[in-house]
Structure 1
């Protein structure tokens, strides 16, 4: 069994086949026969796990296993505690209501890499970082959640999956590392 961690750069699509205008996983991952365990949309960045083990892929990606994925979202505006409480309770997105999650303010470390290209800057509109820890991971879920409560996401970084943390792994955007198949971190094996 192989398990690879990638710090997926902004703009990269979560597929290995070539794309006309965007980088793909093939531009960053040289290990053959591994596949993403879950996805990150092209506009999101951060921790992505790839494996050749279908059972492990399912344990990581499928919501029924309730593996926590942590995201830092830089949102437009300055939400208050009531907004975080609404996010934590679950948000009605029209086609489904999200599961309860953990939500709080985040202070990204100085080691957070710069995004290329940077987010738009507007002097009159502040931005705020929040952390969401969810167990679902539906299509564009975090972006839809923050927009539904009135604070659209400008930048989205997945910083953790289970007990794995992108900063503890020390990966810069585009870097990969092989992880041991049976490791002391909980939540994956």
Structure 2
């Protein structure tokens, strides 16, 4: 049992080190030797868990997918409206992007052309489905204008969310991400939510942003 625990800890250390380097320097610019040095493990330890750099990237994308689906489930079981559930999900992902190098690396890998191996689906495909489902629910619940095109809005929302991180990577500190998510929601709420319900959701966006404490 102790040996298995040590192996799991070593694997986690390697993944975190690789994620940090992938996020800061990119997948192509990071070598396995860089990861070994950053993780402070032996090459044998790394190759015991991962045969190639691509396997590490796949493990990071798997963890990113698990995190996204867990956050989506967590918001669903709390009885929120569809729109509030979606807002909480995006702020949850923003929090994770501030606190967790694995999620940041997953996003960079997803935008960097790294191949996603089946049965794992591309992160953006998962996100589009999750967002579209909640937008359709929000229309039915009267929180979005009835003429809202859920597919188009989902594409715009995911592009907005991903784009703020891609642009922000070289232009502003990571801690700015929650502010950008709040700005995204201010624009969407004013454009899509009926006037009688806007104040509630604008207030929610401000509150969710305040709840994220940058590391």
Structure 2 length-normalised TM:
0.25
Identify the structure with the greater helix proportion: 2
Work out which structure has the larger RCO, using CA pairs closer than 8 Å and 6 or more positions apart in sequence.
1
| The structure with more radius of gyration | 2
TM-score, normalised relative to structure 1? 0.28
